[in-house]
Chains A and B, each alone.
Chain A
Amino acid sequence: MGLLSNLKKIFTGKKPEEPEAAPEPVTVPEPVTVPKARPEAKPAVKPGDVKVEKKPEIHEKEEKPVAEKITIGHVHMSGCTGCLVSLADNYEGLFTLLDNYADLNYCLTLADVRDIPKMDVALVEGSVCINDHHSVEDIKKARRNATIVVALGSCAAYGNITRFARGGQWNQPQHENYVPIGDLINVDIYLPACPPSPESIRNVAVMAYLLLRGTDEQKELAAAYLKPLMDLAQRGTEACGCDLIYDVINQGLCMGCGTCVATCPVRAISMECGKPNIDRDLCIKCGACYAQCPRSFFNFDVMNQFEAIGEVIDAAMGKGDE
């Protein structure tokens, strides 16, 4: 900012808007413009005019990159906000995402928009309390207004901890019946885990952008990347550590790599005799172990390009190679 105002001083208020507009899209324009215009305006002409002129111009500049971005909304149902925190934990990566690829056009926690607008991607966090008609209306509206609905995290996907119907944090005493969003609406993409890692949310956001705005080649890659997560959404709305037993070990697919042990957020899994052993009292039914298992899905068309895809994502996020 100091540099910018120096620049402006050099040009003596000739066109103070131009250098300012570039880094602006994310920050709130109003409080910045008012104090800035004052010191430079010196004896110039009419301070009142300057203010009025600037605002619309900034908005124009903002719209340019926005036109190519996708819109993402965060729909908060009954969840702990941990998934949103995970999104925010991309740190500077979140700014890159919002600068270049997506506008967060609905997010009760971070953006001041009350009604669920039309959006390209709805990241839904939390399960739906069916005793709360607002929640039920909201999830239906999210489905109607979003092109792609992502179940962000295990509560939205499987109910997770809310399925235990305990916790003592009810808004009203009758709030105790929670269903995964997939029980009420069609869900396009599942991103399970409690919470899904920042990197996985970033990857899905970048891939959604490529799917909706990319070249044909990029669309193909994004579709291939997202397909297993779409299949996961079709698989059902229940998950448990025992999925590993039923759908991996019993199917003769487990080879004892230990991925599930590392994935489990509550350390409910240990390896016994080369196979996962699930402590069902600890399991919170988040489904992360099954989703992360290399024998739940393993798409060679995507995995064989792991190096190139890693580079694409790094490049998209403005990270150089090392």
Chain B
Amino acid sequence: MDNNLGIYICSGCDIGKSLNVERLVNTAKDSNKPLVCMSHEFLCGPEGINLIKNDISEKKINKLVIAACSMRAKQDVFNFDPLTIHTERVNLREHVIWISPPNDNNTQLLAEDYINMGAVRAKKSAFPEPLIQDLNKTVLVVGGGVTGLNAAINSAKAGYDVVLVEKKSNLGGFPYSKYKKWETKPPFDKNIWIKEGLDELINQVENSKKIKIYKNSKIKSVSGAPGKFNVEIEPSAEGNNAEAAVSETIGSIVVATGWKPYEAKKLDYLGYGLTSDILTNIELEELYSELSENGKSESFTVKRKSNGDAVKSIAFIQCAGSRDENHLPYCSTVCCMSSLKEAALIRKNNPDTNVYIIYKDIRTPGEYENFYRKMQDDEGIFMVKGVVSGVSYDKGNNIIDLKVKDTLFGGDIDLNVEMMVLASGMVPNSGDVECNQDVNLTVDNPPSASGASCPPSIPVSTAQVAKSGLLNLTYRQGKEMPDLAYGFPDSNFICFPYESRRTGIYPAGSVRMPLDTVFSVDDAKGAALKAVQCVEQTSKGKAVHPRSNDTTYPFFDLPRCTQCKRCTEECPFGAIDEDEKGTPKYNPERCRRCGVCMGACPVRIISFKNYSPDIGASMIKSLYIPEDPTDENYRILVFACENDAYPALDILGLNKMNLSSNIRVIPVRCLGSINNVWYTDALSKGIDGILLLGCKFGDDYQCHFVKGSELASYRMVNLKETLTRLVLEEERIRQIQLEFTDYMKLPEIVEDFVNKIKSLGPNPYKGF
């Protein structure tokens, strides 16, 4: 590959006023031997861009160093074909002149170092070779309930083939054999027949030429990667006359396995089991279905199970198990509407019945409020805010005694009712926990936190409980989707609800979060979009979120691999499997290009075309380290996360706030991609301190690569041994968890660290 380097230094936006640009041009020439090196007063203007374009066509410049503003500005004009031109942006504006004193030797040295690092990176970078492939684009939908049916039909309508797997003999899921649901469109204020629209949907799915349906079936295993998944489908326990196991090639997967009711026997503290007149909400739904002869009859009388008499009083107990740290710590979201719906049905069929709804908070979001308002107008419905403190059964009178405390207006009340309904919550069908250990679902200790039942291989907070039985992935990191909390494999990212830690596999509906059927429809469509988008992007050789459009991916120089398994363990997305010996088997289609594997590898065999341990090390080596131990000669290397810390430094610049000129910033894909060799290279070169600026970690982690910033912190443990060996203080390396908007704190953070380093004195290796 030819390295025809062109260095273009912009003197606009006061760069020329603050720096000696002529000297910059001369030092850049001396240090980097470019084919072209020049300055221009308005490089992003039409004349400047034309200059560069002419050099590209006439002088065959293919490695551009644009020393001007931030890589986040003017991307639209400094825009050259990435497959044939490497464009390296050197940030002389936001990261040099806007934060440092003008016409100062230290500011000049800062600019020189940045240009040299940029030139080295440009020279060392190769062009991306996108992995363009013909891939299978069939969508596998697991689960044939409301979410699954909608995911299937909507993928088909978008033009994609679909394979739908349902464990039961019929499609339709939970509502299939029930009675009524609340209206699915505004004004949401009445009940409608539960199968309204459902039979038609099932019909559409069953008759679609694009959808292949496996009923009575479940997933035996999923191997491979997006666009080339091999899915083994086998008969489910429910299916006695299902076909034999078959395999399908699949592009991407929507997991719509829904929910199951919270175990009724665990609700004995609310009287479940005392009498047949204490039901769960599911049992009441079944009763309605039975009484209505599966919807054939609109009018029926609800009778007590114990004696067959018409019910005259009934209490609904909300949050039976939900919002309770000893049971389900979360709110199951649908139970308030469910109980209101069920109360309305009782009032319609047994008009003399008094209905008590005992609640903590009534949660009817949005226009669902219309339903609640209507029910509040019903004089036979009594809304009782309070907590059930005791339930007993008076056998002689066949009456349920209910004690409620903390009610409105202070007092405790006693209620006698003939029937009682427990609004039990939703539990996601996200696989069965392995290891035969109870997972403690408390607020403080969601199962995704470290210390969960199975010892995690990596001591970071995002380690997972081992599960199986649903997708049965043949992935090295486990058989099921990692949970976010409470068994829900939900996205951790507010801005990106479909962020999945298993590329190409998207959970939807109530397996992902407690959702009703109305919002499950949208959720199914959203997940289906992500599923088809994943294979479309991947087939073009592009990464999916969050590095969408990135065409680079890591190469593994396997002959040098020592089978230490760090990359296969630490990949946040489970993209790397391993063979019997522990040699990594990398799946580019599952990869998100964060570089965590590159950071993990102790023998540095993993590298991207434009990002590698060698490139980083060479950039560090290009820095000028003055030997004279004066204050301004301290050198602090800063590794800054490209997504948050680097922009924060830009915003600092836009606000013209001062920052120490002792620092040299290297942007990284993620702190998790920092290879320890960079620390030792920097310290042996004489760098006095190293500062890591990256995302927050822990339960509310902000790292878009899940655990990159946390891994960086974890790897410091190994690093401390290295520092001890070098007889260097461990305080010379510090990691700061920084948010985008923390830019105002940066001057203090940096100054504090610089002062710490000054108190330790210069790096003794300086000059060696």
A binds B: no
Query: Chain B: residues with CB nearer than 8 A to chain A?
Result: none
Query: Chain A: residues with CB nearer than 8 A to chain B?
Result: none
